[in-house]
Amino acid sequence: MALVNGNEIFKNARAGKYAVGAFNTNNLEWTRAILAAAEETKTPILIQTSMGAAKYMGGYELCLHLVQDTVKSMGITVPVVMHLDHGNYEAAKECIKVGYNSVMFDGHDLPFAENLEKTKEIVKLAHAQGMSVEAEVGSIGGTEDGITGAGELASVEEAQTLAATGVDYLACGIGNIHGVYPANWQGLNFDRLQEIAAAVQTPLVLHGGSGIPKEQIVKAISLGISKVNVNTECQLAFAKATRQYVEAGKDQDIDAKGYDPRKLLAPGTEAIKETVKERIAWFGTPAV
């Protein structure tokens, strides 16, 4: 199946009060694990690359071809969206040029007027190519590719203004953060989410989905969240499974060739797949 831009997927999710998962990839194993989870559950999926991951992997064009070719080689039959996560202005333009299906322009760290104008330009460029666009209002706590947010709540008025640019989905700060949540985290601000959801019909995005309790994610989806981003939980699952393999001495088993990277990476890859499948169930994503 060819990659898609996701517009219908997320419109349907908003109307149906469910969400579709967006999972970051870091390499071939990550890509195969995410796609395998989607295929096994027969659900649409969004694979995204951050600017840092794309640089690590060899560039946006390589990332795009990796996903396209893996979809083909694995015989994936469910809809897959290739998305830029937290891209700055230059990265968003490059991914539009390269041929991603969807891009996020994250201008939350700019003065709002500049964020608005650059969002308008990215929307114009992307829509001309049949690509979808995600923008951000407020900020997501933590640090992503050198952009640090304190987790400020999104302004309802700014959300309305950004939505009016024609963006296809909108990330809003509602107390969520990137990375591991601290013990003193106060939880999601559902009042602000309700206000934003009532003000705009654009599908809303919950970043920092790793570590938020299931009941809060389910409630956020019921209030209008249509896309949930997950990255850290897959990294933690991969690290844990790989550590257990090594600590058990399996990599030292010469007869079984436990040092073979295909065997060394297999437990972590399986752990990513199971994590993705679990989150798909949380999100209530229906089979296609």
Distance, CA of 79 to CA of 82 (rounded, Å) = 10
Distance, CA of 224 to CA of 204 (rounded, Å) = 6
Q: Retrieve residue 274's tokens.
A: 């199971």
Is 229 labelled as part of a ligand binding site?
yes
Question: Phi and psi at residue 174, in whole multiples of 5°?
Answer: -130, 35
Is 210 labelled as part of a ligand binding site?
yes
Question: Among the residues of 148-203, which ranges form H helices?
Answer: 156-163, 190-199
Is 49 labelled as part of a ligand binding site?
no
Selected catalytic residue, list 85, 145, 168, 251 = 85
Is 5 labelled as part of a ligand binding site?
no
Q: Is 270 exposed, middle or buried (0-12, 13-18, 19+ CB in 10 A)?
A: middle
Distance, CA of 88 to CA of 24 (rounded, Å) = 17
Is 209 labelled as part of a ligand binding site?
yes
Sign of the torsion formed by the C-alpha atoms of 5, 106, 148 and 95: positive
Is 146 labelled as part of a ligand binding site?
no
Is 207 labelled as part of a ligand binding site?
yes
Is 127 labelled as part of a ligand binding site?
no
Is 83 labelled as part of a ligand binding site?
no
| Length in residues, the chain | 288
Is 175 labelled as part of a ligand binding site?
no
Is 65 labelled as part of a ligand binding site?
no
Is 232 labelled as part of a ligand binding site?
yes
Is 278 labelled as part of a ligand binding site?
no
In the annotation, is 168 catalytic? Answer: no
* Of 105, 94, 172, the residue nearest 132 (C-alpha): 105
Cα 60 to Cα 33, 35, 67, 143, distances in angstroms? 20, 19, 11, 21
The half-sphere exposure of 272 on its side-chain side, counting CA atoms within 13 A, is 27
Catalytic residue set:
85
Annotated binding site for Zn(2+): 86, 106, 136, 178, 207
Annotated binding site: 86, 106, 136, 178-179, 207-210, 229-232
Annotated binding site for dihydroxyacetone phosphate: 179, 208-210, 229-232
